[in-house]
Amino acid sequence: MPTTMPTSIETSVRCSSGRLSVFLLDLMLKSPFRPKLAVADGELLRSRKSMDRWGEKMPPVRGVTVTSDTLAGLYCEIHTPSDAHSNQVLLYFHGGGFCLGSPRSHRNLVSRLAQAAGIRAVVPDYRKSPEHPFPAALDDTVRLYRHFLDQGIKPSNIVFAGDSAGGNLVLTTLLKLKQDGLPLPAAGCPISPWCDVSLGGETIQSNAARDFILTPLLLHQFGDRYVGKERWNDPLVSPLQGDFAGLPPLLIQVGSREILLDDARRVAQRAAQAGVPVQLEVWDEMQHVWHYTAFLLKDGRLALRRIGEFLKANIGMRKTGS
């Protein structure tokens, strides 16, 4: 598909962090101290440990209690703000190219989002590739959602959010639930989502020099470990190919410097064409999942606040069975 142009569903958000903060973040992302993302032979385990160590350096925010439990057979971390309702749940799917990441690596980000939304957030440690390729991760997210339905939580009291590959899982989980005839949650928020595993977006190349986190080669390696090339266009692998009709409201956030910018634009356009209430926010000068560095960037804190407002506005509003 060709690159999409900005549409009425797209909002450009000006950078509020200041040049110095953005410059310092760029230096950090180009330094040896950034989390490792390599997945070539012999590097996968080191990268997983590196992401977890990075996450452990940034503790949860005050006012949010983090506990762990096994739910639907999955290790999960639960972030509970002091003002959270017991009957509302945010399922957060972490990023990492389906190969990396964990609830530990995303503790600070999720605790900030749980606090902003005032909703208990559950982060599953879904199965990773290459040990557990597609559809293992998707099966896990669907199973966890079913678990909460079985516990008596109404679909209208459940919302989804996730970053990067986790943003993919937000959309593919919605598509799978629709395919299976299950009631859908109240809303979804894909952050910097990877929506086209075939890497068909123009910004995969045009933003390659500006994106200091992802590269076309790294995405290719992630995709190759997640699923065979013959399934790249499966809607449950690349949600860009899915039928979005009937999905709940979506808020999509993406940075202007990301190679996945076109993925976000194209999937937002596809959702809008299907009649889904969708808003795309393109954040000026931001890198991939800048929310992860909210401890440094004002824009990270503002973006999480906007997601929190979106989730609060939609939870409890969607009719069961719609």
Question: pLDDT (tens digit, 9 = 90+) per residue, 118-164?
Answer: 999 999 999 999 999 999 999 999 999 999 999 999 999 999 999 99
Whether 309 is catalytic: no
Whether 164 is catalytic: yes
- Could you say which of 17, 164, 192, 238 is catalytic? 164
Contacts of 301 (CB under 8 A, 6+ apart): 112, 294
Distances in Å between the alpha carbon of 281 and those of 190, 248, 254, 286? 11, 17, 6, 11
The 8-class DSSP code of residue 60 comes to P
Contacts of 165 (CB under 8 A, 6+ apart): 93, 95, 96, 97, 98, 101, 137, 194, 222
Q: What's the rounded mean pLDDT across residues 41-58?
A: 91
What amino acid is encoded at 117 in this protein? A
- Could you say which of 10, 77, 258, 285 is catalytic? 258
- Asked if 255 contacts 249 with a C-beta cutoff of 8 angstroms, the reply is no
Helices 44-56 and 107-117 cross at an angle (nearest 10°) of 50
User: What mean pLDDT is reported for the chain?
Assistant: 94
Helices 165-179 and 136-150 cross at an angle (nearest 10°) of 60
Whether 106 is catalytic: no
- Could you say which of 79, 94, 106, 288 is catalytic? 288
Cis peptide before 135 (omega within 30 of 0): yes
| 260-308 residue pLDDT tens | 999 999 999 999 999 999 999 999 999 999 999 998 899 999 999 999 9
**Tokens (6 digits) for 236:** 């449950």
Contacts of 209 (CB under 8 A, 6+ apart): none
Residue-range domains of the chain with CATH: 10-314 (3.40.50.1820)
